[in-house]
Structure 1
């Protein structure tokens, strides 16, 4: 099938870079066909990390110099001695107070995103994670170190270690203690804030853009983060003044023999703990501390997710990318997946390398196609099981014989874009194209396809859909004849679950008895909290069911681009043999996604009495699910429009034409 049809250009949210001006620079990394993709990627990331360190060091010098200037540190003079002192002080702050935070953020990039769908499970997972303990410890240590360096080089600030008296020559300086405690408290709250908001998760770009523009855009978030240290300085000062006398009295009463020579004067009425000057220094210190941390985070987030084109430096680029797809780390797998999608869209030579390989029974196309199908198949199975493991799903939904078809029908109304005023009986499709291109989808109780066993792919026959995509579906979603999860026996519920149910019922009865004006005012005040809880619930559900949604988008883009281009570039026609299976996989996955979206919408409309629940549910769907749905629709459209005149020559599975 070689005709003059051209590849249909993509549009919208699923578009991959086609602008040759923004093409990435070639990374000079030498490698052979056997070189592991991860090893090559780590070399590139190591060089990027050096750039992050150098840029953050320069920014730290400016921020710390401004802090010293405002708080009355050594005065800036054109003398060589003053410049050297400022340079060494800034370098010490960077190495001891900023660099460790960059390193800990780098380790958090590869951590999986949270799938908790309730506040209690989210808090419990946050406090029980080993990464939380390490992160909090690092930020507290960095905050204390930066406050120590600032106190050491500040002149006229009365921040020395001792406030000696004739009676107590080794009496501690409470101002220094407050100065250190403020930044230690800042480190604790800042670390938990960052972990809760998951700011260390990679934000993968959809395009390849100049690095300078990305850094400038990322740094725009720094000023908005500076409100946090200002609020913290006020809150910390108020709390310290409130509990100060009680805390020091406790130490003197219980450990008086050991502590009196060092803190005896803290309780004197004439002793002032926090004055205006110290409060200003605390505020400026916290501003400088957070600014350094935020700048390092902004630069790191750009460099650590910037796409890299490294396979072209290997002896066998396709094998190098296949090694990247086989990586157990989703972080490195994303780089390889992006490069495959980018090359499939923009590089004719790389596509020809895939099409022209006939050196072995397992060709490059078969390997690429199977790797992408395995990825999509696992995601599809996880979506059908709603994120549960096979054993857990089997216990909830026992498999059994059923005469009803479990394949998703593709004739109903679309969930994302509902069609109004549809006829009760749809007109039969007159053409294969009309049947496959139909975006209308019925919503049956179960989205599971009928079981099918896949055969090993061979060069002489069309490649089969991997077994992980089409078989082993005994753990299927519940149908009308199967028990629903909420019908489990009461004995399986824990005491905590029963207590929560009882409290919820009591609260609802009390709430219904409240005056109408009180309920209206309470709804307005509690609206942000409700939105946060609903967003946490829906986002956790989506993440649990679609853990690799971003990788799936790139896989669909790569397969659709390679399939569409094969009409004019595939000399052996091996890609066209897999078009029916590819479209079957896309339509099955798309149907399951639309059913999943409808279930999310129905749950928000039925379970909640608040209007915000439906709004927040739709926002999460638009952010997390719709890019994947759009990628499926765009991939199907691209293939169908390219092969529209030739679809009658294909033999499609009956399920794909329903």
Structure 2
């Protein structure tokens, strides 16, 4: 019995749990777009940028070849065979490469650097101009355009030196005038071309700013091939606009150059020290005939400046047009990844609306794809259980957030959100204990030695209640007004000196605001007085033209106001198409609520436009003067364009409602009311 118990006790082992490699791990979230989607889109855009470079290089080569052949006399002088050899001559290739590298590439790089998908919220040309001048990239863009134009001028001067040196009409585009007595006199012909190119650069940039050229112009066809007639119309329109821009630039430069030679330069010579710097290089400009007669004797130079401006502008315009078409073309990258649904859902989480638009475009194509791969991708999106939140939840959340932000912007009519200051919590006042009489501090030692230690004396001097601290505290209040602002911020907020300083600063700020108001009032009064004097002594025709120009410059366009309320309308229309994914989901009530709220706000805005700009009756039109009738036509045109802006989202919503949810909710009545009241404002 004892041996059995011993053997049993020897075989017993401690009880322990079985080892397992299973662990509870949290499901990962959908990766951000910067890791999955944006690198793929950037790779596609790099290939498209190379396409832009290649197209602009070929265009510059063709244009330089044409100009080179024309400078050498064309077919009549060179012959047919030599004319065919002009494009492959080393000089032609060198000038073409220089034109493209120094004149065109900087403009394309500038467009790539400052490309944006957010439009400028401005309703009048004056506000567009003021918003452009407030941006930092405007001055940089102006410098890039001017430097490129100067390079184009130098290349043109070199071209004329190579091809026209032996011709009868030599351009004489050297830097200095060939004079032994005055070897540093600047060549007026070259200076005229240089200033003409600078004027072209400024006018071209102004045109780009006024039409918001740095904004992406999304295509309405969503990747469908363009009609050839439309492409031909765009080419003709671009060429005509470039000719008009070159004519305007040349005319404005001729006027400014004549005024500078006749008025500005003589005034500069009146200054005491500046005339000594200007005389060695520009004294010959003061002599000669008047500027008007001088221009009539140099019509060939003016024509040369026009052709140079046209070739420069057409190079820029072609490169920018190709760039606009490439950056707005939809991108398809999900099919090249292992998980296409995850890539697209990750793409709509991008912080940049430019990449988000591409993701929504591809999702819209996936939603309307009836093939087997499209059905497989949609099934994978719905049955996802690997991510938390799931892919469908992420898609629905991001879409509703995007629509919600644009919905709030529509309710504010494009105004920025009002920031409400958060109230500061006032600390509760604690009970103040009864004031206790403190015993006076005895600074003398009880057991005072015969000779005190020097170290002890120094410590007492620099103590908190020592003599130095007493002197500083007594003089701090008197010198607080002379403390600079940089050092006032480190003063204790609860001290009376800091309170006095803050009150003094507030008084100074109020004084500054009053001075600014007085200056603005005085400036407005001065402008009104100057305008009154000018209108009194100017001819009636000049006053009429000036008033029309001022009205055009400051008049707010209705369609621009509506566009500011719906800046992301094309992306909103694509996001609405994602409602097709929610047919079998439980998120239908939230999606319908969001879309119906958006649609109701758009209908309210349309009703507001109809109320604010009612269509005049026939009797009212008959009683209007020609000037008033022209104003009504301008407003009618703006209102029709505003209706088109609102219809981009409203029509997409109504069509989506009827196609996806015909029952039990009947949206045909909403669509009928919309078409009866919201489509045509001026029918």
TM-score (normalizing by structure 2):
0.65
Q: Does 1:590 align with 2:604?
A: no
2:656 is aligned to 635
1:542 is aligned to 562
Match of 2:281 among 225, 250, 262: 262
2:362 is aligned to 339
- Identify the range of structure 1 (280-289 vs 235-244) with the bigger mean alpha-carbon deviation: 235-244
Q: Does 1:350 align with 2:374?
A: yes
List aligned pairs for 1:201-600, cutoff 5 A.
201-205=215-219, 206-210=221-225, 218-225=234-241, 226-254=243-271, 255-269=274-288, 275-348=298-371, 349-356=373-380, 357-360=383-386, 362-392=389-419, 530=551, 533-534=554-555, 536-559=556-579, 561-563=580-582, 566=583, 573=584, 575=585, 577-600=586-609
Give the Å deviation of 1:597: 2.2
Map Cα deviations across residues 552-576 of structure 1 (whole Å, 9 max, x no partner): 00011232x334xx5xxxxxx4x2x
2:493 is aligned to none
Give the Å deviation of 1:605: 5.0
Give the Å deviation of 1:232: 1.8
Q: Does 1:112 align with 2:118?
A: yes
2:14 is aligned to none
- Identify the range of structure 1 (250-259 vs 46-55) with the bigger mean alpha-carbon deviation: 250-259
1:400 is aligned to none
Give the Å deviation of 1:351: 4.2
Map Cα deviations across residues 302-324 of structure 1 (whole Å, 9 max, x no partner): 11111111011112212211222
Give the Å deviation of 1:160: 0.9
Give the Å deviation of 1:371: 1.9
User: Does the 8 Å contact 1:601/1:614 carry over to 2?
Assistant: no
Match of 1:157 among 151, 166, 171: 171
User: Does the 8 Å contact 1:556/1:632 carry over to 2?
Assistant: yes
C-alpha RMSD of matched pairs (Å) = 3.8
1:27 is aligned to none
Map Cα deviations across residues 430-454 of structure 1 (whole Å, 9 max, x no partner): xxxxxxxxxxxxxxxxxxxxxxxxx
Give the Å deviation of 1:34: 8.8
Query: Partners in 2 of 1:261 and 1:339 — Cα distance?
Result: 66
2:131 is aligned to 125
Aligned residues: 494
Query: Partners in 1 of 2:559 and 2:602 — Cα distance?
Result: 15
Query: Partners in 2 of 1:90 and 1:45 — Cα distance?
Result: 26
- Identify the range of structure 1 (348-357 vs 334-343) with the bigger mean alpha-carbon deviation: 348-357
Relative to structure 1, the CA distance from residue 172 to residue 238 in structure 2 (aligned partners, 3 Å threshold; closer, same or farther) is same
SS at match of 1:220: helix
Map Cα deviations across residues 164-212 of structure 1 (whole Å, 9 max, x no partner): 2121123221110001110011101110111111123211112323489
Relative to structure 1, the CA distance from residue 355 to residue 159 in structure 2 (aligned partners, 3 Å threshold; closer, same or farther) is same
Give the Å deviation of 1:369: 2.0
1:440 is aligned to none
Query: Partners in 2 of 1:119 and 1:495 — Cα distance?
Result: 25
TM-score (normalizing by structure 1):
0.67
Query: Partners in 2 of 1:32 and 1:547 — Cα distance?
Result: 24
2:55 is aligned to 55
Runs of at least 5 residues in structure 2 that lack an aligned partner in the other structure: 1-30, 165-169, 423-512, 616-626, 667-683
Give the Å deviation of 1:124: 2.1
Query: Partners in 2 of 1:359 and 1:33 — Cα distance?
Result: 20
SS at match of 1:391: coil
Give the Å deviation of 1:298: 1.0
The structure whose Rg is larger is: 2
Query: Partners in 2 of 1:257 and 1:542 — Cα distance?
Result: 57
User: Does the 8 Å contact 1:114/1:540 carry over to 2?
Assistant: no
Runs of at least 5 residues in structure 1 that lack an aligned partner in the other structure: 1-30, 396-490, 567-572, 649-658
Query: Partners in 2 of 1:528 and 1:261 — Cα distance?
Result: 42
Query: Partners in 2 of 1:258 and 1:647 — Cα distance?
Result: 82
SS at match of 2:328: coil
Match of 1:99 among 97, 105, 116: 105
User: Does the 8 Å contact 1:109/1:202 carry over to 2?
Assistant: yes
Query: Partners in 1 of 2:124 and 2:517 — Cα distance?
Result: 18
